[in-house]
Amino acid sequence: MRIITYREALREALKQEMGRDDTIIMIGEDIGRYGGPYKVSQGLFDEFGPDRVIDTPIAETAIAGAALGAALAGLRPIAEIMYIDFSFICMDQIFNQIAKIRYMSGGNVIVPVVIRTQMGKKGSAAAQHSQCLEAIYAHIPGIKVITPSTPYDAKGLLISSIRENDPVVFIENCGLYSSKSEVPEKPYTIELGKADIKREGNDITVVAISKSVRDSLEAADELQNEGISVEVIDPRTIKPLDSDTILESIEKTHRLLITHEACKTGGLGAEIAAIVAENGMYNLDAPIKRIAAHDTPIPFAPKMEDYVLPSKNDIIKGIRELMKE
């Protein structure tokens, strides 16, 4: 099977779905002639034209509001918010309108909006362009939240999200755009709400979000040489969260480490830990451990940025500590 990048997998999903369904439009800053801030939409403007790949001013409220209106009028819009940090500007449209209209209409009106956005370390992008805010979106009823970690998952989950009748916040990680994996050329879907066991193991379960999946797999490779068998679970969809897969893994390994690039306090790791405490505490032989970013704005200085964010070595250290419990 061919190998392509995360960026190319996303572009292929967009191209194939827009070719399949002419009600799909894209709307966002610099997504047209420029090809998107990370070149995901490169070439789509030339293929589908300005009526379907719509460049906007720097106005997140307008992007989200236009996407909502287009969905209510019968289209299937894909709105791109350049960096998840800026999505706070249009929180009313997302949280109070897009997420709630289907419920408030008694199911009579659907809002098939996909909001594509980016999070994570970009390399000295500093405090306003580097945040991971997936847990905030997971807190809001009415929207589904996707965090793909591989090119294969990115394509299949984006196609599923576009075909979904409920709103989806699709969060890409800036540190993954150049990563590569095998991806089928033909369209395919991945079930939303179904986790993936990226690596099977017997000694400890690691639940990792987005880019932390890659770090966890690298950590697992190193620890295998020490005789530690690590099971790595990627939820892929964090709302709804596949808690069954996590709980079943803990029944086998009896230890749990959770890792994500977001800040520790109030992060998704806290929710996963609570689910395990409520439903699988007696299967644990050691305390739950979280490896996450420090509770501080992301620094500009490269060394400070690396210090604040979790790393493969942090995950290795955490696993070794849990194995001693």
171 and 272 assigned to the same domain? no
Helix, strand, coil tally for the chain in percent (to 5): 40, 20, 40
19 and 167 assigned to the same domain? yes
Query: Residue 247 is part of a domain; what is its CATH number?
Result: 3.40.50.920
pTM over 0.85: yes
203 and 299 assigned to the same domain? yes
Whole-number pLDDT of residue 126: 84
Angle ∠(306,312,315) on CA atoms, nearest 5 = 110
What are the beta bridge partners of residue 182? 3
Task: Work out the burial of residue 258: count CB atoms within 10 Å of its CB; fewer than 13 is exposed, 13-18 middle, 19 or more buried.
Answer: buried
Q: Report yes or no on 135 lying in a domain.
A: yes
Verify cis geometry, omega within 30 degrees of 0, for the bond prior to 151. Answer: no
Nearest to 91, CA basis, from 143, 56, 40, 132 = 143
- Specify whether the backbone of 39 is left (phi greater than 0), alpha (psi in -120 to 50) or beta: left
Of the residues 159, 182, 205, the one at which a domain ends: 182
Q: So which residues are the catalytic ones? A: 129
Going by C-beta distance under 8 Å and a sequence separation of 6 or more, which residues neighbour residue 308?
Answer: 293, 294, 296, 298, 299
Strands 53-55 and 76-81: unpaired
12 and 151 assigned to the same domain? yes
Query: Which residues form the domain of 150?
Result: 3-182
Could you list the pLDDT tens digit for every one of the 325 residues in the chain? Answer: 899 999 999 999 999 999 999 999 999 999 999 999 899 999 999 999 999 999 999 999 999 999 999 999 999 999 999 999 999 999 999 999 999 999 999 999 999 999 999 999 888 788 888 899 999 999 999 999 999 999 999 999 999 999 999 999 999 999 999 999 999 999 999 999 999 999 999 999 999 999 999 999 999 999 999 999 999 999 999 999 999 999 999 999 999 999 999 999 999 999 999 999 999 999 999 999 999 999 999 999 999 999 999 999 999 999 999 999 8
Number of domains within the chain:
2
